[in-house]
Structures are given as structure tokens and as C-alpha cells.
């Protein structure tokens, strides 16, 4: 069976992708290939960081690999927080990141935004990218307790509730990461 590394140690992400691949590949985590390195993310873009992580693993561990990178892009803030989504307020604290974003958007009526996820696959030295996007807008205050990160303030197109209020089934059905994973799986299934 062909081996494929997912450049993460997040067991939930690995399980989700392994299920989607339906046994076509032996999916390995970074720990399982012996990678304890901090993967580089210095390009300043979501596609660039995804590519940089996958290429690093392929070049250093000689195994076909894919990596993902995701972020929230707010039009009125010229695409911020973007690659800085997880640390937008200077910390990984979701409540602080939400408060910081809402403060920056105070008084701004254009609240259009999107969640973007890019997966880069490096297979036999060749690179392929798969993107998933969910368009929406930023609420004026938090609603709901579901999900994580910016979910309580992101209202996807076609809905009046935030990701924090919607069920996991509804959210996962339109997830930006899920859409990128489907592109990867479709490609690997040939």
C-alpha cells in the first residue's frame, strides 16, 4: 500500500482524511515519520505556507506528503487576518482574536469575508494544490457556542446563523477544509 504523510499531528484531521481516502493510502502523521521539526510557515500567504510545509516534509523525509493551511480573510481589512488568523490578537486565545477583529471592524458596514483552506500535495516531487472557500460575512457580535476559532462571528452565505450556531453536520457539509480535502481525495482517487 502506498504511504502518504499528512503534515500534522492532529489526530482528528488525520482520521477525517483517512476516512475520506477509504483505505487507498496508509496515512501517516508527522510523528509516525519521525518529524519533530517545527514546519516553516514564512511565506505570508495561505497557499505559500501550505506549499512550504509539504515541500519541507517531502525534501527532508523523502515521503509523499500533503499539508494544509487555512485562514479567515475579511475584505474591509484587506484580507486580514489571513495567515495570522490563529494569532491575530497576538495570542492563540479565540475570544481575544474575536474581540480584536470585532474592534477593528467597529463602524464598518462592509463585513464580507471568507474562510480559505489550501492543501498542497507533493507526490513524486510534483506539486498539486486544492482550495476550499466558504464565503460569508462577519457578525457584529458573537452568537453560539459550537465550533471553534471565529465560528461564533462568521455567517456563511445563505444563512442567518453563525457557524457557532449551526450544527456540525451543516457546517461540515460546507467547510472550507472539507472542500479542499474533497479536491485532494478526488485527485488521488484518479
- For 36-59, how does the pLDDT look when each residue is reduced to its tens digit (9 = 90+)? 999 999 999 999 999 999 999 999
Instruction: Give the C-alpha separation, 90 to 92, whole Å.
Output: 7
Instruction: Give the C-alpha separation, 170 to 109, whole Å.
Output: 27
For residue 151, give the CATH number of its domain.
3.90.950.10
Write down the pTM of the prediction: 0.88
Burial class, 95, CB count within 10 angstroms (exposed 0-12 / middle 13-18 / buried 19+):
exposed
Packed helices 176-189 and 11-21: angle between N→C axes, nearest 10 degrees: 40
Number of domains in the chain: 1
Residue 16 confidence class, pLDDT cut points 50, 70, 90: confident
Q: Domain range for residue 80?
A: 3-189
Instruction: Give the C-alpha separation, 183 to 185, whole Å.
Output: 6
Q: Which of 69, 84, 151, 186 is catalytic?
A: 69
Is 186 noted as a catalytic residue in this protein? no
97-125: pLDDT as tens digits: 999 999 999 999 999 999 999 999 999 99
Amino acid at each position: 500500500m502506498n504511504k502518504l504523510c499528512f503534515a500534522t499531528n492532529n489526530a482528528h484531521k488525520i482520521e477525517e482524511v483517512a476516512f475520506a481516502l477509504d483505505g487507498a493510502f496508509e496515512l501517516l502523521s508527522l510523528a509516525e515519520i519521525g518529524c519533530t521539526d517545527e514546519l516553516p510557515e514564512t511565506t505570508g500567504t495561505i497557499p505559500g505556507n501550505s506549499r512550504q510545509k509539504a515541500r519541507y516534509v517531502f525534501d527532508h523525509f523523502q515521503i509523499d506528503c500533503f499539508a494544509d493551511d487555512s485562514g479567515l480573510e475579511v475584505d474591509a481589512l484587506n484580507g486580514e487576518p489571513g495567515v495570522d488568523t490563529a494569532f491575530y490578537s497576538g495570542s492563540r486565545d479565540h475570544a481575544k482574536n474575536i474581540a480584536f477583529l470585532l474592534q477593528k471592524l467597529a463602524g464598518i458596514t462592509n463585513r464580507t469575508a471568507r474562510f480559505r483552506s489550501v492543501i498542497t500535495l507533493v507526490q513524486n516531487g510534483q506539486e498539486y494544490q486544492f482550495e476550499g472557500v466558504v464565503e460569508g460575512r462577519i457578525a457584529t457580535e458573537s452568537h453560539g457556542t459550537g465550533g471553534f476559532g471565529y465560528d461564533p462571528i462568521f455567517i456563511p452565505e445563505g444563512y442567518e446563523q453563525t457557524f457557532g450556531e449551526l450544527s456540525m453536520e451543516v457546517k461540515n457539509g460546507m467547510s472550507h477544509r472539507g472542500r479542499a480535502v474533497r479536491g485532494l481525495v478526488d485527485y488521488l482517487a484518479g
